Chains A and B, each alone.
Chain A
Amino acid sequence: MVTVLERDSELRRRAWDAAASVVDPEIPVLTIADLGVLRDVVVDGDHVEVAITPTYSGCPAMNMIALEIEIALERAGFRGPRIRTVLSPAWTTDWMSEEGRQKLRGYGIAPPQAASSRRALFGAQAVACPHCGSEKTELLSEFGSTSCKALWRCKACREPFDYFKCH
């Protein structure tokens, strides 16, 4: 019995590691584990089921991510993995790991702030420039190159940058 449990937990770890290696196609420095998109991995005998949660309702990256997870699991030796999409609890940028935030900054994207700033009306937020660290920045557009980002500009170093919106 103990050996069976050990085998299952070892299998689950391998399946989790395989799924967690998948990166966001739009922000390839972040894995789906960094993002908090990977919610659960269940191994039952030879079957593996991965639960993911969408970032934004219409995020086109989700189909790509689901496909990449299947490929990663097949490569790791799991046959016919199932992907389940869960909506609840709703994804929040608060789930993003500290490591993920640092990776984002290094990639030139300002990481999300605390969720409470979401309802601050009319741009009442201070976002630090990921290039020079200055807080003298301004919002150019509430919506950026992907659903999860807004477009900002640094008034100190003059560089435009993406801000990962809190959600």
Chain B
Amino acid sequence: MVTANIQVSETPLVLYALRRADDALILGHRLSEWCGHAPMLEEDMALSNIALDLIGQARELYSYAARVEGGGNDEDKLAYLRDVRQYRNLLLVEQPNGDFAQTLVRQFFYSAFADLYWRAMVTSRDTTLAAIAAKSEKESAYHLRHSSEWIIRLGDGTDESHQRAQAAIDHLWAFTGEMFAVDDGERALIHAGIAIDPGALRGRWLTTLSDVVGEATLNLPQADWMQQGGRAGRHSEHLGHLLSELQSMQRTFPGQTW
């Protein structure tokens, strides 16, 4: 039995909320894959806690997207009944967990951005987005502190942990440019005071990264070529595999509830 994908009327505001919701859901799902597998119990709990925060943020954003759209969609349909090409998340967050260093570098790149982003979004003229931002920025501060401490511990640790952390930074770097890019629809929201310009945050984001990476005795790559596509639905092969697990229950037993 196969459930048909839903259709979403992607007005700029719906698309805006969907993009942030998809970032949070996919990264939260990736972190949940560590549950029961993390190198120590404290980290198992930490990664699951961060996953829970992100999935909570995703729920608020999906619900808002569904309300703005005003059709028959809801948070569950948006999460479970869209296919790969309908997902709008950053390529960064769908990258596989890899080793522990890769998971923490991915988290560090994202959290350093999310922390600045949600803090700035508190001033949005859209009261729902401002309220979601006010909750998310508090959570992001903890996520950033957690991943920063790990980057330092791994980079300034053993030869092995240093080499793995540097490899993760080099590997994931090309996926960071997408965080700061906007399209015409989003630019209109920025002009209207509903969204903020992520490009304006890049300098401070780099400062956060340089401080932590420097203390970790690691290096940021000089390469400036960046891979994009996630925001427009062009994803790496990894997202399809992730969704097949995330959506398997609703795809197999349509409409099933607890």
B-binding residues in A (CB < 8 A): 54, 56-60, 87-92, 118-119, 121-123, 140-145, 147, 151, 165, 167
Contacts and interface: CB of A to CB of B under 8 A. Distances in A.
B79 interface: no
Contact of A165 (B52, B56, B57, B142): B142
A58 B45 contact: no
Contacts of A167: 138
B197 to A, nearest CB: 23
Given A89-B134, A140-B42, A57 B53 contact: yes
* Chain B interface mostly: helix
B148 to A, nearest CB: 7
A43 to B, nearest CB: 25
Interface string B40-56: 00110110011111111
Interface size of B as a range? 20 to 34
Interface of B: 28, 42-43, 45-46, 49-57, 59-60, 127-128, 130-132, 134-136, 138-139, 141-142, 145-146, 148-149
A147 B43 CA distance: 13
A165 B139 CA distance: 11
Contact of A90 (B127, B138, B146, B148): B138
Contact of A143 (B46, B59, B60, B136): B46
B134 A58 contact: no
Contact of A141 (B46, B57, B60): B46
B239 to A, nearest CB: 22
A90 B42 CA distance: 28
A60 B52 contact: yes
Contact of A118 (B42, B50, B131, B141): B141
A147 B59 CA distance: 16
Contacts of A142: 46, 142, 145-146, 149
Contact of A58 (B54, B128, B131): B54
Contact of B57 (A58, A140, A143): A58
A103 to B, nearest CB: 23
Given A141-B45, A143-B45, A57 B59 contact: yes
